[in-house]
Structure 1
């Protein structure tokens, strides 16, 4: 937008000779300092103010430029315009200084939030316990990685436990909830015997946070997964989240099971969340994602066809790895949508069938 002040001046200079002499278009330059304050710093706005007054004087009383008498340079109306431009220039300098302070404050706040998000959403390791893993994260906030999506993988005595979730809202307001829910998950997975118990502890944590911030509509959709390597299966608890997608033997299937309300809304019912299981053996890949992936739109407004795209890519690939799936989505999704309006988090996991000594 730095082109705006020069464009504004060019517009006035082109308009001046096109109108009758009795129409002093140079008065439009009074607004130039405020226009410059949107994009330039205080010193530059002050310089623009001086230039605006100089151009006003030139157009007011220079015969070669305006055809007016040189004595009009100090006419009452023109002097009033000079003074008004100077006063508006002072206002523009103040506005520019205030804008720069706000920008610096926002940059600092975003930097702190991004540092926190990097701490919370740590890079997905290649291997966690007996699982191979890969992940992808894109924030819906342009230019930042601050968002409301979350994920984590932990190796516990009960098996490898995974969470992926989506906090209502996004940006800085969602960071606190992300921190709270991940902190509870990381504690619960080591202490609670099964996934429904983990989910119930997270539900209680969400209820406390909602009471603290007085937000009755605070909730998190989440899918919890536990991998039992000896049994060759996964156990899933789904709290209003997108169903996990299984890629197995060239087939792509959404694992649909008993739904539960999102975390934070459990007080509406008194039922314990129900877990369901599915075989999960070497060669399979389980894909977990947030709604930012399937709701990404193309130029026509069509949603990203996740299952169709996965089938097209992996139907003839009997044993892709988690990294293969993530790499495909990381290149295919930007071809479908140019602008991400929501956070996108994707997690892919697969059993590790290598001998324990090779892990």
Structure 2
């Protein structure tokens, strides 16, 4: 800006360098803080006024246009600086929130009895709206395992706190209780001490036996997807719908256990509503059943990643809701304790 002022004074009023004073705030738009953007814009405005007065052009159209350009460039620089500050603050909040959620959702065993296990978790993209999606695999007696996949109502740190409560209660109850429904009652009691009003948690509890049987308790959650080794696909829907966890005090009956049989090569996908309810630009839900063939890869983790990438492609980018998936694949023979 000093260079523009010097050149204008030396060249005289006929050349018309006044509009170039807007270059100052224009460059401030690229880098710099809000204070710097305002300061550079003010300096450019003062210089432009003084040079226009020196050239006896202060009341002319040329000077008015130049001053308007300086004001416009300053406003753009100010808006860009505010947006950069907001994005930095948002990135900091999201990094802290996601770090807390990673601590909460610790790595699960890669094998559990005759099951190979893979997990995928995609955080929501909408600001810092971390959700309460949760999952866990706890080795059980006789080479089996107990599994939970759930979704807390709401978003933010309150949802994460509730998810931590559910996971803590599950990790404590799953190895000790003899029956799966007793684990569910422990979760219900823990939530009743925490939740108020109509807050709730949808969840699926699964007990994987040492043989080929999986027992399911569905608390108002999307039904697991069963993919047979022969390519058949179906949903493991309960005979009777049950309410989510946290609503037992309102009187509805809890879920009834139902079992499914898995053979070598069969798979079970447990997921949250961020998968089932992901929409594309036309408002169409993600066709999970039709896309189940993506899980054919021999590596469960790569299979799950292929499905996740397809989900992101369907939504046209990261979803506004968290999406958690847990894949269980039945193997021919166990190879020792869970890892």
TM-score higher than 0.5: yes
1:247 to 227, 231, 245: 227
Structure 2 partner of 1:6 = none
**1:292·1:344 contact (CA, 8 Å) conserved in 2?**
yes
Name 1:342's counterpart in structure 2.
321
How many pairs are equivalent? 302
Deviations 1:132-163 (A, max 9, x none): 01111111135779332111111011630111
Q: Which residue number in structure 2 is paired with residue 179 of structure 1?
A: 164
Asked whether the equivalents of residues 140 and 146 of structure 2 are also in contact (C-alpha less than 8 Å), the reply is yes
**Cα shift readout 1:75-120 (whole Å, capped 9, x = no counterpart):** xxx9xxxxxx9xx99xx8xxx79x95x7776555433322221111
Partner of 1:226: 207
Contact 1:196/1:272 (CA < 8 Å) preserved in 2? Answer: no
CA distance in structure 1 between the partners assigned to 2:48 and 2:220 by the alignment: 64
Which of the residues 32, 36, 43 maps onto 1:43?
36
Unpaired runs of at least 5, structure 1: 1-25, 73-77, 79-84
Check 1:264–1:58 CA distance in 2 against 1; reply closer, same or farther (3 A cut): farther
- Deviation, 1:122, is 2.1
User: Partner residue of 1:266?
Assistant: 248
- Any residues of structure 2 matched to 1:85-100 within 5 Å, and which? 100=85
Range with bigger deviation, 165-174 or 245-254 = 165-174
| Alpha-carbon distance in structure 1 between the residues aligned to 2:262 and 2:249 | 33
Residue aligning to 1:3 = none
Q: CA deviation at 1:285?
A: 0.4
Structure (1/2) with the larger helix percentage: 1
- Aligned with 2:246: secondary structure? coil
Task: For 1:233 and 1:307, locate their aligned partners in 2 and report how far apart those are by CA, in whole Å.
Answer: 22
Q: What TM-score, normalized by structure 1, do the two folds share?
A: 0.71
Cα gap change, 1:277/1:173 in structure 2, threshold over 3 Å: closer, same or farther?
same
RMSD: 3.9
Aligned to 2:125: 141
1:61/1:279 CA distance change after superposition, 3 Å: same
User: Cα–Cα, structure 1 residues 63 and 133, in superposed 2: closer, same or farther, change >3 Å?
Assistant: same
Structure 2: how far apart are the matches of 1:58 and 1:338?
Answer: 51
| In structure 2, C-alpha distance between the alignment counterparts of 1:63 and 1:280, rounded to whole Å | 89
Tell whether 2:145 aligns with 1:160.
Answer: yes
After TM superposition, the score normalised by the length of structure 2 is 0.75
Q: Which has the higher contact order (CA 8 A, sep 6+)?
A: 2
